[in-house]
Structure 1
Amino acid sequence: MNSQKEIVQSTLSMSLKVIRMYDWLLDLYVLDFFVDKHWDKLPQCWRDTFEHMDPQHLGYILSNKPSNFNMVLPLSFLALIKSIEALTLPRENRSKTRVKREINDVDSFKGNPKLKNLFLKHVKLKKRHEISLMADIVVDTALETGCKAVIDFGSGLGHLVRVLAYREELYAAGIECQTQLTEEARKLDLELEYTAKKHLSADAISKLHGPLHFNVTLSSNQQLLELPLPEEMKNYGLIGLHPCGDLGPLLLKHFVETDHIKFLCVVGCCYMKLSCGDKGHGYPMSDFVKQLDSHLSFVSREIACHSIDVYCERLRRGNYIDLKVHAFRAALERILVEHNPKLRHAKVRSIKHSDSMTFEKYCTLAVERLHLPLSAEAWARGHADLRQWRRVVVVYTLRLALAPLVETVVLLDRLLYVLEKGFSCEIWPVFDPKLSPRNHIIIAKR
């Protein structure tokens, strides 16, 4: 039986081979659709098929959902879709359901029914979902490793560390680079304690240990060693809920290099901000991937952060008319480039599409800061391009189909990096991908 490391290496190797075959598709900018004739870049058999296919059908195909559509698909396209399906990390939550323990002690945050929803104040629905599941995993991992303390990087307003400290009774600290967020987090701690005093005894209040909050821009492991932590936090777990760019890889490196960090729970984000290549340290991380043809362009890493689950659901519902805005922008790009080649990729105002919005209105709003006179000939060219708007949707959808494979490569490279250092590591899809598209958590234990 192959070891975990061998399986990960094999998956990475095959995934990168598929990505290399379709770099030409991944690296397309949607706004260049008409300027660079993206439709003509598709294989002829793909063009013949997708020219007459309703994008709704494509949504069913990419979601691997049964449909009533009957159409012969190109074998090369089927091979791509099956390869992505076989290699990509699963996105639906398949982890074991945590056993909830009944708490009968009403003189505690966890057991008092009047304090049950106190942690939900000031927290949006998406964040509530993430914090609830993340807290469960952190607590379970802390118990498994015999660790009673955690440090959360990028703690923001401190919602997660507040749950872990007051409700779960772990020693918790949050590190945030923005002073304003740290100050607000401390105010929210005081607000929570003020409310708790109305429902808990003085003895219970005296035993509370609220989270610590530090203002640090993390750039080296030495900064961790210099934090004025209490004795109870001599050993701790590192956690990060969507740390941006290189911060995720930095936490992984801190874990493998520091003996008193007992576990790691990290959910990544913003792959396009990773530093890459020989001079970078965000990707690739593992020795194995560094030896492969592992390049991932900025465009491919950027699209890997998009929500394919929500997008495909909209396609399946036939709710894709608002995607016409991509064609509006692409048609405008050709007008700008033909007016002046130096205006290529010029910054224009972001406009939300509506059914009643005309192309002229869109362009007028988008380029109002550029003060460009648009001729009747330019409008005619734009309207001619817009008649092909479904082609734009198709090409963008085909690019998005590859996004989970790019994310898989980034995440498995991180997993393999930890395995190469001799530590236990695993990846689980933990959040609802429709609510939180970056839903995989890396769990490492010392």
Structure 2
Amino acid sequence: MSNLDVCYLERALVFLKKYQWIFNFRNTDVLTKDVLANLPKDWAEYFNGINVDNLHGLVKGNLEDSAPLDFKYLIDEINELNCKQTCETVESVESVSYKCTGLTQKKVHEITLLAPVINEICQETKCDLIVDIGSGFGHLPHMLFEKYHYPVLALEVSNKLIQTALENQTKLKPASKGHVIFKEVFVNKSSAGCIEELVEENFGPDKKICLTGLHACADLSVEVLKLFSRISKASALVIMPCCYHRMNTDFKNFPASSLGKKLFDKYQAYGFTGEAFLRLACQQTSGTFIRMSKEEHEKHAQQCMHRAVLQLVAEMENCTLRRLKRKSGKSNALDIDVGFQDYLNNLETTHQLVGRDPNKRIKVTDETFRRKMYEKWTEHKNECWQVEVLMGLQAAIQGICENVVLLDRVEFLKEKGIRCYNRKITNDCISPRCWALIAMKSFPS
């Protein structure tokens, strides 16, 4: 890692330690942790007075003259950390066309932009076989074969996905049989021998391998970095990590590098780089936040407060919450109190209370519980906009958090003598995890 990157990591950790109150909590705990109490009085007044355009300007690093002076200092620090170039700037090649029924716009966007980059890196390193980790239904492997004629070993842990991929191959991609081989494998750092055997068994010896992975979730991306360093015939790596917050929170794989561990010890970073930090690092980017309309921001602010009130009252009742479905019912009501009433009416289908006292049973429909919900909503509903501005601050520092994660992974491979850099592949407003980690053991002659 360059001295510039080391300096960036240090400065980022100092900044994040100083301002951890902005992000070091679950957003549903904004009331239970009394997060807004951290706002200086003049900041709170300023937050209440800004409109959506001001909020978007804040996230982009532009403030009005009326902003409190120390708040301007905060934004200046964010601007400086956001503008530092921490990744090699390489323009991605144009996407290639690919038609397949059943694919979302996001998935098409991702594979059509990633495939030509993989081809480019394979050409640079003279790789003649691709091993795709987490191949899913096989769309990326099929594109790499059809467009660039690479044989692909497609590895997937899910037997169900493998069976579907094989059925699709028979029906839709019969020409790829014998060239795109699907295998059920649980991939981790210890899989080097297994993968090398599969390569030789299906494609013969003396293959030069490029490891790839789209949406290498949670710990998988770090496990693949370790794996890459262990496979002797792997010359290149192109992997797009995601879901940082799903990593084991024992700090086994984050930080991954020796330098990262040293800096984390120096700045006591383990206390503010846990799940909340990692969740922010893989949230929507600031570009998505500033594209929200006034109405969308208002709805989002109210929904955040609805959930915060529920969390607060549940804890008051000595209960934990169990979510019954991924998304809660949303109200189209213009009146915020009617919107809260709609949220309350939907609770029975969206959340369940689990009492810590087994002898005390409480339901979200109990009159006492609903009354307390009303009371806390009435008490805090005027703070909705402050919460939304706080979410804007989180959006402003999201990129800094992700930089820390990505640079640590770059350093992990560089410490092993492997050239490595991050490269932006996709439009972050379509696919937020837009970075690919690219590594090469051999350099072009």
Q: What TM-score bracket applies, with the shorter chain setting the length? A: 0.7 to 0.9
Verify the 8 A CA contact 1:87 1:405 in the aligned structure 2. yes
Q: Which of 187, 198, 222 does residue 167 from structure 2 map onto? A: 187
Aligned to 1:374: 367
Cα distance in 2, alignment partners of residues 215 and 233 from structure 1: 23
Q: Which of 12, 17, 23 does residue 15 from structure 1 map onto? A: 12
* Equivalent residue letter for 1:320: H
State the secondary structure of the residue aligned to 1:319.
helix
Cα distance in 2, alignment partners of residues 251 and 169 from structure 1: 24
Q: Which of 210, 215, 225 does residue 237 from structure 1 map onto? A: 210
Aligned to 2:239: 266
**Worse-superposed segment, 390-399 or 349-358:** 349-358
Aligned to 1:312: 289
Verify the 8 A CA contact 1:304 1:406 in the aligned structure 2. yes
Root mean square deviation, CA, Å: 2.7
* Gaps in structure 2 of 5+ consecutive residues: 354-362
Q: Which of 360, 366, 370 does residue 341 from structure 2 map onto? A: 360
Q: Which of 14, 21, 41 does residue 24 from structure 1 map onto? A: 21
Displacement of 1:13 in angstroms is 1.2
After TM superposition, the score normalised by the length of structure 2 is 0.84
Verify the 8 A CA contact 2:131 2:153 in the aligned structure 1. yes
* Equivalent residue letter for 1:264: L
Q: Which of 258, 262, 272 does residue 291 from structure 1 map onto? A: 262
Verify the 8 A CA contact 1:165 1:209 in the aligned structure 2. no
| Runs of 4 or more above 6 Å deviation | 89-93
Q: Does 1:81 align with 2:78?
A: no
Displacement of 1:312 in angstroms is 2.0
Aligned to 1:333: 311
Aligned to 2:401: 406
Indicate how the Cα distance of structure 1 residues 321 and 93 shifts in structure 2: closer, same or farther if over 3 A, else same: farther
Cα distance in 2, alignment partners of residues 71 and 99 from structure 1: 42
**Worse-superposed segment, 239-248 or 46-55:** 46-55
**Worse-superposed segment, 343-352 or 297-306:** 343-352
Indicate how the Cα distance of structure 1 residues 6 and 377 shifts in structure 2: closer, same or farther if over 3 A, else same: closer
**Worse-superposed segment, 308-317 or 86-95:** 86-95
* Equivalent residue letter for 1:81: I
**Structure 1 segment 140-179 matched on structure 2, within 5 A:** 140-179=120-159
Give aligned-pair identity as a percent. 22
State the secondary structure of the residue aligned to 2:390.
helix
Verify the 8 A CA contact 1:335 1:382 in the aligned structure 2. no
State the secondary structure of the residue aligned to 2:152.
strand
Indicate how the Cα distance of structure 1 residues 379 and 432 shifts in structure 2: closer, same or farther if over 3 A, else same: same
Displacement of 1:317 in angstroms is 5.2
Q: Which of 319, 329, 344 does residue 343 from structure 1 map onto? A: 319
Verify the 8 A CA contact 1:169 1:209 in the aligned structure 2. no
Cα distance in 2, alignment partners of residues 91 and 431 from structure 1: 17
Displacement of 1:209 in angstroms is 5.0
Displacement of 1:308 in angstroms is 2.5
Q: Deviations over 1:151-183 (max 9, x none)?
A: 010110000000111221011111001111111
Q: Does 1:395 align with 2:379?
A: no
Cα distance in 2, alignment partners of residues 387 and 31 from structure 1: 17
Residue correspondences, number: 410
Indicate how the Cα distance of structure 1 residues 236 and 177 shifts in structure 2: closer, same or farther if over 3 A, else same: same
Displacement of 1:322 in angstroms is 1.6
Cα distance in 2, alignment partners of residues 97 and 30 from structure 1: 35
